[in-house]
Amino acid sequence: MNIFEKENAVIGDAGTKRQKQDFGDFLAKARAIRKQLGKQSFLLDSYLSQLFKAINQKLSHDAGGYGFDTAGQLIGVCAGIIRGEPDNTEHWFYTQAKEYIDSHPLPFQDVHTKVMLYYMLLYGDFIETAAERYHTEIYYDIHSVMDVCDLHDLYTKICDFLGGEEAMENLNTLFSKRFLSVDTMSAYFQGMNNQLSYCLTHRDRETSKQVFQLLMDMEEERS
């Protein structure tokens, strides 16, 4: 089965039925728990308030854009090294990139092609550290609005009052379905992937092949 038979495999579905239903289900469950808590309803209010603030601490479009720009930094690093320009020498990945490029010469004449290929060859190592750095950054950002210990304490108190975790587990699931269609790191990686796909379609002027074709040719030559 070809999952890309229709455009929706890439752009998604514009239907809102599930979105509306998920929101309605979430509100219904939250109201039911709040009613059961009675005078202790402030516990749920505080719990949800922290979650709402946390998901807005780093917006998806910001994370995606940051991922795109971060991936672009590697292009700049590679370009500076290949052209012998002193740009980006202070970048945290510069030394590793220069060592690799100096020890792995490529036969292509087109500078842009060489930049794109080195970008692809270094991408795996680059993204590993870049993602860790970004995750640490947003970890501390979110902690400025969400106290995990306090959140867990609120969760425990609510569950104790209700006599079990089932209701809160269901509420958390509904919250995730409605408000976390894309988590922050997934948005970040998507931004990086968009940059990656741009580079893969760069066409080499000498061979008239796109970068993704050259990469496959290189792999065939090595095997």
DSSP code at position 39 = G
210 bridge partner residues: 203
- Side-chain-facing half-sphere of 3: CA atoms under 13 Å: 4
Query: Which pTM was predicted?
Result: 0.85
As a whole number of angstroms, the distance between CA 181 and CA 148 comes to: 21
Residues 211 and 75 sit within 8 Å (Cβ to Cβ): no
DSSP code at position 203 = B
Residue-wise pLDDT tens for the chain (223 aa)? Answer: 887 778 777 766 766 666 667 888 999 999 999 999 999 999 999 999 999 998 888 888 899 999 999 999 999 999 999 999 877 899 999 999 999 999 999 999 999 999 999 999 999 999 999 999 999 999 888 888 888 899 999 999 999 999 999 999 999 999 998 888 889 999 999 999 999 999 999 999 999 999 999 999 987 554 4
- SS3 call for 15: coil
User: Which residues, 6+ apart, have CB-to-CB distance to 190 below 8 Å?
Assistant: 64, 67, 182
**Phi and psi at residue 15, in whole multiples of 5°?**
-65, 140
